[in-house]
Amino acid sequence: MNGLVILIPAAICLGLLALVTFLWSLKSGQYDDLKGASERILDDEAPIRRSEKP
Amino acid sequence: MPASAIMATPVIAAAEPVSDDAEALLALSRAAGSAARQIEFAVPDAYCVTCINAIETGLGRLPQVVSARVNLSQRWVRVVFAPEKGSVLDLPRAIRASGYRTHALDPVADGRQDQALHELIRCMAVAGFAAGNIMLFSVSIWSGADAATRDMFHWISALIALPAIAYAGRPFFRSAFAALRVGRTNMDVPISIGVVLATLLSLWETIHSGAHAYFDASTMLLFFLLVGRTFDHLMREKARGAIANLARLTPRGVTRWLADGTTAYVAAEDVTPGMLLLLRAGERVPVDCRIVEGAGDVDLSIVTGESMAVAVGPGASLAAGAINLRAVLKVEAERTASDSFLSQMAILMETAEASRTTHRRIADRAASIYAPAVHASALLTLLGWGFFVGDWHAAMLNAVAVLIITCPCALALAVPVVHAVAAGRLFRNGIMMRDGTALERAAAVTDIAFDKTGTLTVGAVRYVGQASGDPAMLPIAASLARHSQHPLAVALSAAAPAAPLVVEEVSEAAGQGMQARADGATWRLGSAPFCGGIDIDGDDRGAGTEVCLGRGGAVVAVFSFADAIRPDAASAVAELEHGCKGVRMLSGDGPQAVRAVAEALGIRRHAARLSPEAKLADLQAEAAAGRRVMMVGDGINDAPALRAAHVSMAPSSASDIGRSAADFVFTNGRLASVPFVLGIARRADRLVRENLVLAIGYNALALPLAVTGHVTPLVAAVAMSTSSILVVANALRLDFGTNLVPREEPVPGNVRVEAVRS
């Protein structure tokens, strides 16, 4: 029973962490262009995007 | 798949006018930080990493571009730029210079849709989190947690479930409330009632240290339903985005002549009758108007269905939607935008919509029977246990168990999953589906009505052959034709390599032809009288059009042109007739042209010179006779008929209004899409029915268990998930079968893109 006092909050907190991470990744646009992201990996010429200027 | 559309219909793609205007573009952009603005351009041809590079690098070279990022899924590029460092007009130019077609996108419509999808995904994430965590506690309860531990687990479950359900259930509660308020019921009503009652009962049980709580069932239910709904939404979004991508930037404004001789840009809505306007070559006529100065040719194919360009001169009236092909015209507006031809079509479309037999979605029909049956059996369970057994607590528990076990989880998934799979299958074959009901309606089609110009034909003239004269004249004619922009001349110059001639003193006579000196002789290319021959009159001319080549006042050769029939039109028509569908042709073009196409394709029933109203009346008469007609058309004049038909389809080269009126839009340029859609619709219809039987049958099996009080939360959870998985697995069967196009898209632009890159 004592173990549960630590384990249950820990489990729920981990779950919440995953949920928040997912919502954050959704909000920051990481799911907006799945096809583009998978293609961009193949672009070995440009480790830094040329179109973005300082 | 726009790539394959270019291959199939190169002339249409090339003929699409490109009209950009700095003010119109700036109006579409919006502020992004200080001094920077953001705008999206569609790039329908981008498909791989080289495209991304070419476009982003091309834009990145411009001084005013802060950043450019291509979205390959949606096929657009988002550009952040500083307006004071350079013109916004350079942006589309840079994209075109990289070798891609483009047009600006309207951000307003897209933004709203995105939010709905994001809300669904957020709800799904929350419901998934809650269901997963509560299930952990439920498993320990089912495996025999003792009283105090069980109560604690119930309380923690409640703590997770209550806010999660309140948040993730909103899409369902909203829809159910909206339906109930107008006195109707839909699938969301039993869902909402089931979820809310189960949660309240579980809360009651938790407070009173009961043995059974259904928090896991209600959150899992929401999670499954949200998965289905998100899936459905994604598919529809994808099709809608693709259709929006195809739409060019419609002319929002026109160039106006001011009294002092300068020009200004005004919005199309602000044009009043009597205003003098400037119409450049390639521009679409914004409002109904009359030509004051200048002569040229207009393409009416999308307005009336006429396949040949029409010569116009001062005094001629132009209908809104026609394309000015060559010369700069000075025109006087005759009507406002809201009174013009296009708007009249929109009004006709509204009346057509009203007369369309209202189609009730199969899911709603199922819900209207299912929901009362479920609620009645739950009530009977409650009353039965209450009065006959006398245990009101058990009665309440069992009634809620009935509600949960019959909660139409599989039923709610049964239809959207099939539609989503079908939409995905169609999408991969270059066909966009507007919504699921289109598929249900297409399954019941008995007749197909085709428009001619632009639908059965490609909508652009092609050189057919030489009717008379020396074959050696063709290269001479071709080299003369290179000096004209007339559609017939363009077709002629594409038909043969140019002769090694020096062509001089080129002049054009609008509506008649062109004259030039070459090789020491005066040549004329154009109509028969213009070249010194005798004119052949009106309808006797045959299906196509002829162009004469004259030398020194005598005709030396005659060339024939016709609107080319789509390569697979004959096989598509044969396939449809083989499938026992009545095929007809409704055209606005002349009887000769219509008969020639009908004979070539073996269509027995055809009608020519139909006005938009006549097409509409024809379809309404068919509908009244109990036939369900699918209309396939592309023109502005087809739009009311497209809307009135039981279901409708348009090629991607169609007019904006025609495309937005159609239920299906095919971008692959192949008429085989029509039988393909009907085939998929029929299979989808069968799968939907199978799924409904599966889901209802499953529930019917579980119902006696629930009524007699044998359903525990464990049984509910197992029943719910297995029936849902069964329904989804059944729907996936639709993905098997032969496709119209291979899974990998053709790559027409590969060589060009590589060149740009290096």
Inter-chain contact B70–A12, Cβ cutoff 8 Å? no
pLDDT, tens digit, for every residue of B640-693? 888 888 889 988 777 777 777 788 888 777 888 899 999 999 999 999 889 888
**pTM, two decimal places:** 0.71
What order do you get walking across the sheet with B431-433 strand by strand? B431-433, B664-666, B647-651, B629-632, B447-450, B582-586, B605-607
Inter-chain contact A51–B71, Cβ cutoff 8 Å? no
Mean pLDDT of B300-317: 76
Mean pLDDT of B233-259: 65
Does residue A52 surpass a pLDDT of 70? Answer: no
Q: Say if residues B309 and B329 touch (Cβ distance below 8 Å).
A: no
Query: Which of B65, B73, B136 is closest, CB to CB, to A35?
Result: B73
**Residue B169 confidence (pLDDT):** 92
Q: Does B386 touch chain A (CB under 8 A)?
A: no
Q: Does A6 touch chain B (CB under 8 A)?
A: no
Taking CA atoms, B336 is separated from B226, B231, B275, B288, B741, in Å, by 47, 43, 10, 8, 44
Inter-chain contact B49–A39, Cβ cutoff 8 Å? yes
What order do you get walking across the sheet with B296-299 strand by strand? B310-312, B296-299, B323-324
Inter-chain contact B125–A22, Cβ cutoff 8 Å? yes
pLDDT, tens digit, for every residue of B310-321? 778 888 888 887
Which band of pLDDT confidence, cut at 50, 70 and 90, is reported for residue B248? very low
> Which residue from A minimizes the CA distance to B131?
A15
In chain B, CATH 2.70.150.10 covers 251-341
Cα B501 to the center of its chain, rounded Å: 47
Q: Does B525 touch chain A (CB under 8 A)?
A: no
Inter-chain contact A50–B59, Cβ cutoff 8 Å? no
Contacts of B72 in chain A (CB under 8 A): 33, 35-36, 39
Question: Residues 54..93 of B with a Cβ closer than 8 Å to A: which?
Answer: 56-57, 59-60, 65-74
Taking CA atoms, B751 is separated from B98, B103, B226, B755, B757, in Å, by 12, 23, 44, 6, 10
Q: Say if residues B91 and B60 touch (Cβ distance below 8 Å).
A: no
Query: Which of B67, B71, B160 is closest, CB to CB, to A52?
Result: B67
> Which residue from A minimizes the CA distance to B50?
A43
**Residue B593 confidence (pLDDT):** 80
Q: Which of B129, B141, B223 to probe by mutation at the A interface, max A CB count within 10 Å?
A: B129
> Which residue from B minimizes the CA distance to A24?
B122
Considering the four listed CATH numbers 3.40.190.150, 3.40.50.1000, 3.40.1160.10, 3.90.1150.10, the one that applies to the domain covering B430-453+567-676 is 3.40.50.1000
Contacts of A39 in chain B (CB under 8 A): 48-49, 52, 72
Q: Does A19 touch chain B (CB under 8 A)?
A: yes
Can you name the CATH fold of B462-562?
A: Calcium-transporting ATPase, cytoplasmic domain N (3.40.1110)
Query: Which of B60, B72, B133 is closest, CB to CB, to A35?
Result: B72
Contacts of A40 in chain B (CB under 8 A): 49, 52
Inter-chain contact B125–A15, Cβ cutoff 8 Å? no
Minimal Cα–Cα distance from A49 to chain B, Å?
9
Mean pLDDT of B470-481: 82
Inter-chain contact B126–A36, Cβ cutoff 8 Å? no
Inter-chain contact A36–B68, Cβ cutoff 8 Å? no
The residues near A9 (Cβ < 8 Å, ≥ 6 apart) are: none
Give the torsion through C-alpha atoms of B426, B726, A23, B203, to 10 deg.
Answer: 140
Cα B112 to the center of its chain, rounded Å: 18
Q: Considering chain B, what is the average pLDDT of its residues? A: 78
Q: How far apart are CA B564 and CA B587, in angstroms?
A: 15
Taking CA atoms, B353 is separated from B185, B349, B473, B511, in Å, by 24, 6, 54, 40
Minimal Cα–Cα distance from B121 to chain A, Å?
9
**Residue B663 confidence (pLDDT):** 85
Say if domain B251-341 classifies as CATH 2.70.150.10: yes
Q: Residue B755: what are its φ and ψ, rounded to 5°?
A: -65, -40
Contacts of B46 in chain A (CB under 8 A): none
Contacts of A29 in chain B (CB under 8 A): none
Inter-chain contact A39–B72, Cβ cutoff 8 Å? yes
> Which residue from B minimizes the CA distance to A21?
B125
Inter-chain contact B56–A26, Cβ cutoff 8 Å? no
Q: How far apart are CA B420 and CA B436, in angstroms?
A: 8
Contacts of A52 in chain B (CB under 8 A): 60, 67
Minimal Cα–Cα distance from A44 to chain B, Å?
10
Mean pLDDT of B559-580: 83
pLDDT, tens digit, for every residue of B48-96? 888 888 888 888 888 888 888 888 877 788 888 888 888 888 888 888 8
Residue found under tokens 């009907």: B678
A and B: number of Cβ contacts within 8 A: 73
Q: Does A34 touch chain B (CB under 8 A)?
A: yes
In chain B, CATH 3.40.1110.10 covers 462-562
Q: Which of A17, A42, A45, A51 to probe by mutation at the B interface, max B CB count within 10 Å?
A: A51
Q: How far apart are CA B262 and CA B402, in angstroms?
A: 77
Mean pLDDT of B493-502: 76
Inter-chain contact A33–B66, Cβ cutoff 8 Å? no
**Catalytic site positions of B:** 451
The CATH number assigned to the domain with range B19-105 reads 3.30.70.100
Q: What percent of chain B has pLDDT over 90?
A: 7
pLDDT, tens digit, for every residue of B212-226? 888 988 898 889 888
Give the β-pairing of B37-42 and B103-104.
Answer: antiparallel
Q: How far apart are CA B651 and CA B671, in angstroms?
A: 9
Contacts of A4 in chain B (CB under 8 A): 149, 152
In chain B, CATH 3.30.70.100 covers 19-105
Q: Say if residues B539 and B595 touch (Cβ distance below 8 Å).
A: no
Query: Which of B56, B118, B121 is closest, CB to CB, to A51?
Result: B56
Which band of pLDDT confidence, cut at 50, 70 and 90, is reported for residue B11? very low
